[in-house]
Structure 1
Amino acid sequence: MTSPQEKLLPATRRALLHRIATAQAEGRAPSLVAAVVRGGKAVWHGSRTSVDGHGPDENVQYRIGSITKTFTAVLVLRLRDEGVLDLGDPLEKHLPGTGAGEATIAELLAHTAGLAAESPAPWWERTPGSLRPELADVLGEQPHRLPVGRRFHYSNPGYTLLGALVEELRGAPWEEVLRSELLEPLGLHRTSAQPQAPHAGGWAVHPWADVMLPEPVENLGRMAPAGQLWSTAGDLARFAVFLAEGDPRVLSAASVLEMRTPAAPAEAEDVAAGAAYGLGMQIQYRDGRNLVGHSGSLPGFVACLTISVEDDLAAVVLANCTSGPLTATVAADLVRIVAEAEPRIPDPWRPLPEVDQSLLELTGPWYWGTHVAALRLAADGGVSFGPLSGNGRRSRFRANGDETWTGLDGYYAGELLRAVRRPDGSVSHLDLGSFVFTRQPYEEGAPVPGGVDPEGWRGIR
C-alpha cells in the first residue's frame, strides 16, 4: 500500500521539508510539525526539532490557541441550523444579563460586537482561569470599546460569550458539548481541552540568546472557548477537510461555506493586507489565492490551519514557542508549494445525465438595456448568470424548483431570479431583483420599465 508520504512527488516533498526546516531554524523553535492535506486526506507531514531523535509526529499535541474559536463557531452554527437561534438574534434573547446583550450572535462570531480585545488585567493567557470565575470578570465594567456592529475588532471575550451561549442552550459544559457534537463525530480523538501525552511543552526563547524558559500551562476557565484546545497536526488535517467540505453529522457544506464567507467590514489596513473575517474563520488573499482558516497563539505555542478550497489543499503548522516562526506565512507557503508544483487536476468534463428542456431554453444571452449577460445551467440544477466576458455582475444561483433561483454570491447574493412566461407558456423575460432581462436589447412588446420607443432602432437622420 502506498503511504501518504509517497503521494507527493519527491521534489515537492523536499521543498516542503526545506520550508519547515528554514522556519524552525530561523524562527528558533524548539520543535515544529506540519501537515499538508489534498483530496480529503493528509498527503505529507514533516517535523523539525532541536533535540536529536525526538522529532514530533502528527499525533503529538500542541496548544492551538485561537483556532479554538473556529470549533466554538461550529457549535453555534449547529444551534442555528437546528432552529434554536437565529444569527440575527441579540445575545440578550438567549443569554440575558451579560451587559453585552445588544450585540447579535453574528456580530460576536464576526468580531463586530465592539467588545474589548482582552479581559481585564491580569493577562488572561498567563494566569489561572479561576481568577475570572464569572462572565462579569471576563467582560469587566465596560465591555465595549467601539459601537456595536460598526467595525471589525478582534475580541477574545466575545468568544467567551459564545461559549457561554452554547452552555446555556445545551445545558452542558462547553467542553462536553464540543466533544459529543464535534470531536467524536469527526474522529478528532487527539483534540482535548487538557493536554494528553504525548504533548509538547511550551517554551519562551530569549530574543537575544539561544536559551529557553518554560511557559506556564494555565487552564483558561471561562475563556476556554476562545483558546483552550490542544490538538495535533493529524487531527487538524481532518478538521481542515471538514471546514472545506462539511459533514452532515456535524455541519452542512452550505453552513461551512457561510463560515468561510467574509462577514466583517474590513478596515483600510485589512484591505491592504488582503485580510477579512467570516464567522469564526480568518480569510486572507495571498499570492492570488483565497485562504481560509485560523491562526492561534498562547504563551509557549503558535499555530495555523489554512485552506485553499479551489486548490483542494490545506496546511497545518504547529510550533512550541511563544514567538518564532510565522506559522500563517509558513502554512500559506506549504499550500503554494504544492499548488505550483503539482496543480490540481480538474475533474473530467461530463455531460449532464438529463436536462429539463424548459430550463435549457432559458440558457444563452439576455439583455438588460444594452448590457448582455449569459445564463448557464450548472450540474447541480442551479444556474450562473453574468457577463459573457470581462468584469461585471456575476453570480451563482440555487434552484428553488419552481423556475426561480436564489443568488448565492456576488452582487445578486440573496436576490431572486425568476423566469416570467406568457399565457401561452413561452418565456417573456427574466426578472432579477426588479431588473428585466429580454432576449433582445429593448425588445419590442416586452415589459421594459419606461417602455420602448415605438419607432425602434434607427440611424442618424
Structure 2
Amino acid sequence: MTTSEALLPGTRRALLHRIATAQSEGRAPSLVAAVQREGRIAWSGSRSCVEGHAPDDDTQFRIGSITKTFTAVLVLRLRDEGLLHLDDPLEKHLPGTGVGHVTARQLLGHSAGLGAETPAPWWERTPGSTRPDLAAVLGDEPLMHPPGHRHHYSNPGYTLLGSLVERVRGDAWAEVLRREILDPLGMDRTTASAQAPHAGGWAVHPWADVMLPEPAEDLGLMAPAGQLWSTTSDLLRFASFLARGDERVLRATSVEEMRTPVAPPEAGDWAGNYGLGLQVVQREGRTLLGHSGSLPGFLAALWISVEDDVAAVVLANATSGPLAGAVAADLVQIVADAEPRIPEPWRPLPEVDEELLALTGPWYWGTSIHTLKLLADRGFELQPLRGTGRGARFRACPDGTWTGLSGYYAGETLRVVRSADGTVDHLDLGSFVFTRTPYEPRAAVPGGVDEGGWRGLVT
C-alpha cells in the first residue's frame, strides 16, 4: 500500500510507546501494529522478545473472528445480487439444519438465539474433521434463546452463514472468499492456511515467564467463523473497503448497512453494538467499527473511525495477555487527537435546481422550527433550528419524493404537496405537515386552523 504523509515525531513516538507497553505488560512473544490515515499507511511498528526477529507488515498472524466480517460481506453480496433476502428463513436456501426458521439477518447480527460455541470438544483446538457436518456443529439443542429477541454471540451461526454461501454459490467458502473479496482488493497475504512468513502461536504461562506452543488447527466447517491468516498491510486494505465500499466487492450503501447496529449487546459484556458482521463501539466520544479476534495462540483487532478517516490493526501471537482491541482503539485515538483530519475545501454544488432551491430554509412542524438544506445529488437535510429534535438526511427518489436515511425518519418518505395552482402548500413527512409559518392558515393542516388566529392572554 502507498504510505501517506509522515506523522509528526511526537505522534510516532506515542504510537510506539503504546505498542511497546502492550507487548511488555501483556507478555506477548511478538506484536505488530499499523495505522492508516486517509486510505494510506501512516505508521507501522512491532515489538518482539526475539532480538532482530520482529515481525513486519508482511508477517501473517491468525485473525480469528475478524474472519466473520469477510463472511458477512459474502452474504451481503448474495443479497445485492438478488439471490436471497436477509429475512428469508434459512430453510429456503439451506435446508435440513434443524434451525431453518432463523434468518440470515439474525445470524449476521448474532440475534438468532444459537449457542455461543459448538458441543465438545473445544472447537478451536481440535481438527475440523471432528465436526464433519452441521449437526455436529449445532448439537442436539442449538437454540439458547428465542430468535430475534436478544444479542447472543454465536460462532456456530457463522458456520451456517458460510454453508449458506457455499450452497448458493456452489463452491467452497474459501474459494468464494478468494475470488470475490481477496483478489479484487489485492489481499494476496490473506489465506485460509498459514503462508510464510508467519508467526507461531504461543501460550504464555500466567505465573512464570515461559511459553508453550499452541496448535494451529484447520477449523473445517467452522472456518467462516475464524479461520483466516492475514497481515497488517492486508487488513488495512480491508479497512479502506469497510470505510468506503468498493463496487468490485460491495457497494458503499451496503457497507454502510453493515455498520448499522441491529441488536443491543449482551448485558454487561462490552460497551457497543453489533451490525451485520461488524462490531460498533463508542469510545471517548468516537464511533469505532471493525472486529476483534482470537484463537489459541493469537489475538487480533481492527478498528476504524470513519469520521476521522483513521484505522488501526494490532496482531499478537499470544493466547491471552495484550488487549488487542483496546490497543488498536488507542492507536486510532492517538492519531485522530494529535493530528486531526484536515477538512476538504468547501465547494459549491455543481448545478442549481431552482425548484429545489426554493424549498430550502425554515419550515414549521406545528410550532417547532426546522431548516431544510439542499445537498448534492438533489438530497436534503432537515434539522431542528433550536435545541434537540428529529432531524435526518434524505435521498432523492426517481418519483420526485425523498427517503430518510437516518434517525427517526429513516425509511420515511418526504413529499412536496402542491395546491391546485401548482404552488407549494406544505411538506408531508410520514404524515407530519411542515408549513412555511406556524400553522399556516392557507395550508392543508389536518384539523384545520382556528379562524380567530393567534391571540394574546384570554381573560
> Is 2:342 the counterpart of 1:345?
yes
Structure 2 Cα separation of the partners of residues 327 and 390 of structure 1: 39
Matched, 1:397 2:397: no
Q: AA paired with 2:76?
A: L
**Contact (CA 8 Å) 1:151, 1:264: kept in 2 or not?**
yes
Whole-angstrom CA distance in 1 between matches of 2:383 and 2:295: 46
Q: CA deviation at 1:268?
A: 4.4
Q: Deviations over 1:239-272 (max 9, x none)?
A: 00000000000001101100011011345436xx
* Letter of the structure 1 residue corresponding to residue 397 of structure 2: N
Which has the higher mean CA deviation after the structures are superposed, 243-252 or 440-449? 440-449
Secondary structure class of the residue paired with 1:318: strand
Cα pair distance change 1:312/1:119, threshold 3 Å: same
Offset at residue 301 of structure 1 (A): 0.1
How far apart are the structure 2 equivalents of 1:266 and 1:416?
Answer: 30
- Point out the more displaced range, 194-203 or 419-428: 419-428
2:447, 2:369 → 1: CA distance? 19
Cross-structure match for 1:96: 95
Counterpart contact for 1:398–1:405, Cα < 8 Å: yes
Per mean C-alpha deviation after superposition, the further-off stretch among 2-11 and 449-458 is 2-11
1:200-219 correspondence runs (5 A): 200-219=199-218
In the other structure, the counterpart of 1:180 is 179
Q: Displacement, 1:274?
A: 3.1
Partner of 2:235: 236
Q: Contact between 2:362 and 2:371, CA under 8 Å: does it hold in 1?
A: yes
Q: Which residue does 2:381 correspond to in 1?
A: 384
Mapped contact 2:60–2:195 kept (Cα < 8 A): yes
Corresponding position of 1:259: 258
Partner of 1:163: 162
Preserved CA contact (<8 Å) 2:2 2:40: no
- In structure 1, how many angstroms separate the alpha carbons of the residues matched to 2:398 and 2:422? 17
Deviation string 1:319-349 (CA, Å, 9 cap, x unpaired) is 0000011011000000000011100010011
Residues in 2 aligned to 1:200 and 1:382: alpha-carbon distance in whole angstroms: 49
Match of 2:282 in 1: 285
Q: Counterpart in 1 of 2:225?
A: 226
Q: Distance in 2 between matches of 1:201 and 1:316?
A: 18
Letter of the structure 2 residue corresponding to residue 341 of structure 1: A
Measured on the aligned residues, the alpha-carbon RMSD in Å equals 1.3
Mapped to 1, the partners of 2:95 and 2:428 lie a distance apart of 44
Task: Structure 1: give runs of 5+ residues left out of the alignment.
Answer: none
Give the one of 395, 404, 413 matched to 1:407: 404
Identify unmatched segments of 5+ residues in structure 2: none
**Structure 2 partner of 1:439:** 436
Structure 2 residue aligned with 1:456: 453
Secondary structure in structure 1 of the residue aligned to 2:101 = coil
| Amino acid in the other structure paired with 2:286 | R
Equivalent residue, structure 2, for 1:320: 317
SS at match of 1:34: strand
SS of the aligned residue for 1:292 comes to strand
Aligned partner of 1:330 in structure 2 is 327
- The one-letter code of the counterpart of 1:178 is L
- Cα distance in 1 for residues equivalent to 2:387 and 2:258: 29
CA offsets per residue over residues 103-156 of structure 1, 9 Å max, x none?
111000000000000000000000110000100000001110000100000000
**What corresponds to 1:422 in structure 2?**
419
Identify if the C-alpha distance between structure 1 residues 131 and 261 changes in structure 2 by more than 3 Å, giving closer, same or farther. same
Query: Would the aligned equivalents of 2:265 and 2:271 in 1 still touch at CA under 8 Å?
Result: no
Contact 1:5 1:45 in 2 (8 A): no
**1:5 Cα deviation after fit:** 7.6
Equivalent residue, structure 2, for 1:355: 352
The CA distance in 2 between the partners of 1:274 and 1:111, in whole Å, is 16
Deviations 1:34-82 (A, max 9, x none): 0101111111111000000001110000000000000000000000000
**Pick aligned residue for 1:297 from 282, 294, 298:** 294
TM-score, normalising length from structure 1? 0.98
Give the residue type in structure 2 aligned to 1:109: L
Per-residue CA distance 1:151-198 (angstroms, 9 max, x = gap): 000000000000000000000000000000000000000000000000
Q: Distance in 1 between matches of 2:41 and 2:237?
A: 8
What TM-score, normalized by structure 2, do the two folds share?
0.98
- Secondary structure, aligned partner of 1:11: helix
SS at match of 2:176: helix
Q: Residues 4 and 408 of structure 1: is their aligned pair in 2 closer, same or farther, counting only changes over 3 Å?
A: same
1:176-224 deviations in whole A, cap 9, x for unaligned?
0000000000000000000000000000000011000000010000000
**Contact 1:163 1:225 survives alignment (8 Å):** yes
Equivalenced residues, count: 458
Name 1:47's counterpart in structure 2. 46
| Amino acid of the structure 2 residue aligned with 1:414 | G
Q: CA deviation at 1:424?
A: 2.1
Residue 388 of structure 1 and its aligned partner are, at CA, apart by 1.3
Question: Aligned in 2, Cα 1:166/1:359: closer, same or farther, shift over 3 Å?
Answer: same
1:132 and 2:131 are equivalent in the alignment? yes
State the match for 1:31 in structure 2: 30
Distance 1:357 1:158, change over 3 A: same
Amino acid at match of 2:83: V
Displacement of 1:381 in angstroms is 2.4
Instruction: Name the CA distance, whole Å, in 1 between partners of 2:104 and 2:2.
Output: 44
Structure-2 change in CA distance of 1:209 and 1:128 (3 Å): same
Letter matched to residue 422 of structure 2: G
Corresponding position of 2:16? 17
What is the DSSP-based 3-state SS (H/G/I as helix, E as strand, rest coil) of the residue aligned with 2:166? helix
The structure-2 alpha-carbon separation of the partners of 1:351 and 1:5, relative to structure 1 and needing over 3 Å to count, comes to closer
> Residue 183 of structure 1 aligns to a residue in which SS?
helix
Query: What SS does the aligned partner of 2:378 have?
Result: coil
Secondary structure at 1:114 match in 2: coil
SS of 2:84's partner is coil
